[in-house]
Amino acid sequence: MLKKVDSSQLKVGMYIHDLSCDWMTHPFVRNRFLLSSEEEIRKIVNAGIHDVVIDAGKGLDVQDAPTLDEAQEATERELTALAAKPVVVTRVSLGEEMARATQIRHQAATLVRTVMRDARLGKAIELDQVQPVVQNITESILRNPGALVGLLRIKNKDDYTFLHSVSVCTLLVAFCRSRGMAAELTHQAGLGGLLHDTGKALVPDAILNKPGPLTDEEFAVIKRHPQDGHAILLKSPEVGAIPLDITLHHHERRDGSGYPDKLAGDAISELAQMAAIVDVYDAITADRCYHKGMSAAAALRKIYEWSKFHFNPHYAQEFMRCVGIYPVGTMVMLESGRLGVVVEPHETNLLAPKVNVFFNTKQNLYIKPETVDLSRGLGFGGGDKIVGHESAAKWNVDPMRFLTLA
């Protein structure tokens, strides 16, 4: 039986099923193992991991601990209460913005690749090349955030490092916009998002793209990238305080367990705290050579759970409302047995977006695509509801083909 336990309850002889943290937080080469020493327990606690999932069938039990199902049901109830909140209204349709967003995605990824190459060669960042790209991303978000955000959900393992930076920029701009922040502050945050991982240019490719767990020594090299990136950006005097701060502190955590400075609470700036949420969200939803990305819906649930300790809970909830419980591009299963891809969030109910349905799982065949507004009743373009997210690989379908309907 799987149970959720506080790390203070851990004992030698318990079997760890899930460390309940993002992969860059924990110092272990695997997620599942039998606790064999007090030192392993100390490593868990020192890594800022506050609760874990144990398998009582493979090791010692904690009698009064909730089962994993019970813990997830409690989280689900809390998320449902958060779902009926207003979201940002788009200016143009998803279909209208997709072509522009596709071009911006390519332009931005090419720029980040150039920035990384120049940083590796010891060159200063040319901000006059970066500024227009951030402006283009911002304007796309203003027209329809779902287009670019949806496109950036798809990343090849070979270009992850570059597209991750574009994603963090895009999501951070959308996050700032949804919080009503000033245009210049939003632009500076976007610069920080696009440049936040510049320090990874100095990480050897063998470590950055290692198809397996990192050793302690390799992990230490990776953890230097915020300081390395900060030092690289300092070579360009025109880079402002906000991008520098985001680059240096996007791995800090509110409980002081982050790096490089182990800042805690509000000693971490507002935008660095927001960038931390965005960075983790994009990282855990992406397929990498060493782990399978989780769905957006599952990632948001993790962000919510981790916000008890690692993130500002208020910011985490606002980020969830920004991207939606089921973000644009998410493939979902409907109660009717149809598969669909989310194309637009509802203005007040995050659990009832518009969905383009295209596949009948009961008959195992494609159907004539149509848009279903899940906020409406039967006979009014709705009459269905989401029962969960689905994997495109499981059904061997390409949901991105149905992001827009002719």
User: Domain coordinates of the chain in residue numbers?
Assistant: 2-66, 94-323, 331-402
What's the CATH number of domain 94-323, 3.40.190.10, 1.10.3210.10, 1.20.1090.10, 1.20.20.10? Answer: 1.10.3210.10
User: 181-185, 197-201, 302-306: which range is least confident on average?
Assistant: 302-306
Instruction: For residue 212, give Cα distances in angstroms to 206, 215, 292.
Output: 11, 10, 12
* Side-chain-facing half-sphere of 314: CA atoms under 13 Å: 4
The CA distance from 252 to 262, in Å, is: 6
Angle of the 296-306 helix axis to the 313-323 helix axis, nearest 10: 170
Cβ count near 123 (within 10 Å):
14
The CA distance from 166 to 340, in Å, is: 26
Give the model's pLDDT for residue 376.
84
Give the model's pLDDT for residue 297.
80
Highest mean pLDDT among 17-26, 193-202, 285-294, 358-367: 193-202
Give the model's pLDDT for residue 119.
94
| Contact (Cβ atoms closer than 8 angstroms) between residue 144 and residue 328 | no
In the predicted model, what is the mean pLDDT of residues 289-308? 84
Cβ count near 173 (within 10 Å):
29
| Contact (Cβ atoms closer than 8 angstroms) between residue 289 and residue 157 | yes
Encode 330-361: b = buried (16+ Cβ within 10 Å), e = exposed. Answer: bbbbbeeebbbbbbbbbeebbbbbbbbbbbeb
**33 bridge partner residues:** 16
Q: Which is nearest to 305 in space by CA: 50, 42, 27?
A: 50
Express as a percent the part of the chain with pLDDT over 90.
52
Give the model's pLDDT for residue 90.
66
pLDDT category at 64 given cuts 50, 70, 90 is confident
pLDDT tens by residue, 79-126 = 766 665 555 566 788 888 999 999 999 999 999 999 999 999 999 999
| Contact (Cβ atoms closer than 8 angstroms) between residue 169 and residue 163 | no
In the predicted model, what is the mean pLDDT of residues 144-164? 84
Give the model's pLDDT for residue 30.
72
Indicate the average pLDDT of the chain.
88
pLDDT category at 44 given cuts 50, 70, 90 is confident
Give the model's pLDDT for residue 208.
86
Q: Going by C-beta distance under 8 Å and a sequence separation of 6 or more, which residues neighbour residue 30?
A: 213
pLDDT tens by residue, 218-264 = 989 999 999 999 999 999 999 999 999 999 999 999 999 999 999 99
Give the model's pLDDT for residue 322.
87
In the predicted model, what is the mean pLDDT of residues 61-85? 77
Instruction: For residue 107, give Cα distances in angstroms to 196, 221, 222.
Output: 18, 29, 27
* Residue scoring higher pLDDT (153 or 132): 132
pLDDT category at 136 given cuts 50, 70, 90 is very high
Query: Does position 31 have pLDDT exceeding 70, yes or no?
Result: yes
The CA distance from 120 to 132, in Å, is: 23
Query: Does position 290 have pLDDT exceeding 80, yes or no?
Result: no
Give the model's pLDDT for residue 111.
96
Q: Is the peptide bond before 369 cis (omega within 30 degrees of 0)?
A: no
Please give the model's pTM, rounded to 2 decimal places.
0.84
Strand 33-34, strand 51-55: pairing:
unpaired
pLDDT category at 325 given cuts 50, 70, 90 is confident
User: 47-56, 171-180, 355-364: which range is least confident on average?
Assistant: 47-56
